[in-house]
Amino acid sequence: MTIVVTRPSLPRRLTLLVTALVLGLPGVVRAQAGHPLYACANRLAGDLRDFSGGLVDAVATCATTRLRTAGVGNCANDAAVLAKIDGFAATFADDLTRCSAAEVRALCSFEARDLAHLVPAVTGAEVAQSVRRRLLSLVLDFFETPQPGCARPAVKVSTGAAECADKIRTVLVDQSDALAGEYFSCELKNLGSSIACVDPDAGDPNSSDLESGIAGVLSDVSAISNRCDDAKVVAIGCPLGENTIAGLVAAFQARLGEFVAKLNLETFHASCRTDPDGTEPPLVPADATLEPSLKKVKVSCGQVLDAKFFGGDKGLSFDTDLDCSPANSATDGIVVAASGVRINGRGKAWSITGPGSRRYRTGAGIRIAPGVSNVKVLGFRKIQYFGAGVAADAPANRGLRVANSVLFRNVDAGVRSAGRRTAIVESVADRNGIGFDLSGDGTIVSRSEARRSEPQGTVVGVPTSPGVGIRLGGTDRNLSGASVRVYNTSLVTENAIGVQMLGDKGSLEGISVHSNLGDGVQVGGTGNVVRDVSVKLNGGHGVSVTGVGSVLDGVGSDENAFSGFDVSGPGTTIVQCGAGSPGDKGNGLDGFHVSGAGAILDTNRAEANVLTGFAILAPTALFVGNKSQGNLIGYIFQGGGSTLASNSAEFNLGDEFRIAPNNVDGKSNKANGSGFAFGAAGLTIH
């Protein structure tokens, strides 16, 4: 939304310059400028910014001027303001006549197939959801709309309050334009790519560059704090219904972010964009090469690649993207129906993209047909927008290998495999319903990352997947000691839930699980093992154990919102684990909260936790060599039946030990550096 209104030609020149800079190398700029829709799309983006910026500036300037002179007015109906808006609207309509009818129909922005519908959708005063009407509503919610419990001023405001209003106006004008620029520059760059800038349903950014650009623009909203404080926010009538500067900054960022994200979707991702004539759009096949014969072939969406297709070859390398985004029905990307073959994206050069509409995302980007084994999927830039990125749903789909690939925004899972001996290596699952959903015996995940998994479904707002980074199921059928193993520097971060272990004898080893919204690791099933794992900064428990006979060995659980370890499953072994660490890096509740009977706690440490280091609510099978310090309370043994030996507590703020009756003194326990003994009646030591 460009805001300079006195020189209409300047914003367009600036828009072209900024776009060229953002697009990077001159060759890339020339390639996109050569796209058949580039000229019209660039014109539309610039015209939208000119119109929107002019409107915001005109109305907001009127509103802030009146606050300085007479209190709140009615700027939306001010004759001079309306004349300016009508002038911007006329310029918008006139400039777009330079787009051809075919270009307007192909872009289909705002679901309009011609200018007769496009112009009113943007500038129409009588169109209920036009950009004009929504922009007016946004500006008035800052400066005029009455807010409950906070009256708009009826007389002129103080100089300080007026300066606050002026700062809000300036930031609204500048950051609206800057945010639109971030989105539109990306969209213009990607006109010829199947890698969309945003999710076409939700509008969320797909690239880290766009995401960081948006975050930077929205962070600059906090500049209103330079002129505003809580009293001044109230004095000008509580913009957006907020009566504190902190609340206003947060509401400002949310409202502006939502508005521009929707505007971008309407401009570049209207549903008729992929179906401009109301007919089933053609799906363009990808170019590919069979190897080692080097025979050139075409690969279409939904195509079954069987033994006849491969002939004597064992590899298929893509030479272009396979783009199924225009599909008006559910489809797979490809179905691999031949064993022992390799599907190659050529070092992350190419992608496979599923339907643009969420409701059709039920297929798989690469589906392994029943009975097919030993398929390798290598080097894809992205496999995205399907039900599953890669799906091997039958136990007989053994030997699947997914390496050096990105699985992105698939509704169900990035990789879903029930096949034995599946291997996920050096791959990233990003923003899927489940990152990696694995249940085949002998499966491994190594040097990979599962991040930002979130609950989602084929209908917006109705999730069918839980938002788990890695979900492990299955059983140890070959008696090797582990069913599914995740190890070797893998990272699980920013998911709704980090890891779920639902099967038997799964294993997590040497990985990091941090910054997930809920629990870091959930351990169910039977005999699952978590060893040498770092669990930090999660929004629930660090490790939650409900399964039977689980083993936690060398696990560090720090700075989680709830307990470091919450153990309700019976027979859990906890050895050499740490809950919390010095420097206020403890957990928000207990270090170890143990309610499952028969637990073994051997040589563990709890430090700096908000409540209790060790809260033992059920009899333990062994409780020896543990250390608790710097917590609110060191140890609580709520019931009897435990034997305590060689445990120590010191520097806890409250009691060091609270030992209920009917526990056993196994000797060598210490409080504050001194040994003590207790009998059947129990003991409390402060």
Taking only the tens place, the pLDDT of each residue in 231-253 is 999 999 999 999 999 999 999 99
Task: Average the pLDDT over each of 124-128, 552-556, 630-634 and give the range with the smallest value.
Answer: 124-128
Confidence check: pLDDT of 4 > 60: no
pLDDT digits (tens, 9 = 90+) for 476-509: 888 888 899 999 989 999 999 999 999 999 999 9
Nearest to 50 by CA among 22, 13, 80, 77: 13
- The answer to the question of residue 449 being in a domain is no
Q: What mean pLDDT is predicted for residues 577-584?
A: 91
- The answer to the question of residue 654 being in a domain is yes
- The answer to the question of residue 349 being in a domain is no
pLDDT score of 281: 61
Distance, CA of 181 to CA of 49 (rounded, Å): 8
Bridge partners (DSSP) of residue 684 are: 658
Distance, CA of 500 to CA of 472 (rounded, Å): 6
Confidence check: pLDDT of 567 > 90: yes
pLDDT digits (tens, 9 = 90+) for 289-301: 999 999 999 999 9
pTM for the model stands at 0.78
Nearest to 283 by CA among 204, 198, 363: 363
Q: What mean pLDDT is predicted for residues 120-128?
A: 94
List phi, psi (to 5°) of 179: -70, -45
Domain count, the chain: 2
CB proximity list for 94: less than 8 A, separation 6 or greater: none
Distance, CA of 650 to CA of 686 (rounded, Å): 10
Identify the DSSP state of 510: S
CB proximity list for 408: less than 8 A, separation 6 or greater: 206, 382, 383, 384, 385, 389, 414, 430, 431, 432
Domain that holds residue 525: 520-686
Confidence of residue 193 (pLDDT cuts 50, 70, 90): low
- The answer to the question of residue 406 being in a domain is no
- The answer to the question of residue 133 being in a domain is yes
Confidence of residue 463 (pLDDT cuts 50, 70, 90): confident
Residue that is last in its domain, among 269, 291, 316? 269
Residue that is last in its domain, among 219, 251, 269? 269
- The answer to the question of residue 353 being in a domain is no
Confidence of residue 135 (pLDDT cuts 50, 70, 90): very high
CB proximity list for 340: less than 8 A, separation 6 or greater: 314, 373, 374, 375
pLDDT score of 478: 85
Confidence check: pLDDT of 555 > 50: yes
Percent of the chain beyond pLDDT 90?
83
Distance, CA of 312 to CA of 291 (rounded, Å): 9
pLDDT score of 33: 55
- The answer to the question of residue 140 being in a domain is yes
Confidence of residue 307 (pLDDT cuts 50, 70, 90): very high
* 3-state DSSP helix/strand/coil % of the chain, to nearest 5: 30, 25, 45
pLDDT score of 15: 35
Distance, CA of 116 to CA of 135 (rounded, Å): 21
Distance, CA of 558 to CA of 652 (rounded, Å): 17
- The answer to the question of residue 47 being in a domain is yes
Residue that is last in its domain, among 269, 303, 336? 269
pLDDT score of 108: 92
